[in-house]
């Protein structure tokens, strides 16, 4: 197993979604408190979670020869 695939298995999707939800809650709290730095921190967490989601998806399917979709899917190759 390649290290990049192993790294994708270490970070579960629930942790990324929790980070995204935390970022949204912090940004909302920043809006309520009218504090631009707290809003910026919340948005930074959302963008970080998005980047982790993209990198995790790329690492999970890097070098995969098989398509994970069922063969009867209209979108399969």
Instruction: Read off the pLDDT of residues 30-68 as tens digits, 9 standing for 90 and up.
Output: 999 999 999 999 999 999 999 988 888 777 776 666 666
User: Residue 57: inside a domain, yes or no?
Assistant: yes
Answer whether residue 32 is part of any domain.
yes
Is residue 11 domain-resident? yes
Using pLDDT thresholds of 50, 70 and 90, give the confidence band for residue 69.
low
Confidence bin at 10 (pLDDT 50/70/90): low
In a domain, 23, yes or no: yes
Asked if residue 18 belongs to a domain, the reply is yes
Predicted TM-score (pTM) of this structure: 0.67
Q: What range does the domain containing 55 cover? A: 3-61
71 belongs to a structural domain: no
Q: Is residue 75 part of a domain?
A: no
pLDDT at 67: 62
CB-CB neighbours of 47 under 10 Å: 12
The reply to whether 45 falls in a domain is: yes
* Counted domains in the chain: 1
DSSP 14-70: HHHHHHHHHHHHHHHHHHHHT-HHHHHHHHHHHHHHHHHHHHHHHHHHTT--S-SS-
Q: Is the pLDDT of residue 1 over 50?
A: no
């Amino acid at each position: 197993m390649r290290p990049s695939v192993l790294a994708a298995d270490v970070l579960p999707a629930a942790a990324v979604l929790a980070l995204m939800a935390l970022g949204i809650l912090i940004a909302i709290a920043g809006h309520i408190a009218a504090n631009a730095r707290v809003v910026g921190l919340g948005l930074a967490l959302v963008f970080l979670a998005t980047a982790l989601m993209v990198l995790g998806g790329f690492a999970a399917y890097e070098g995969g020869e098989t398509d994970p979709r069922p063969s009867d899917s209209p979108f399969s190759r």
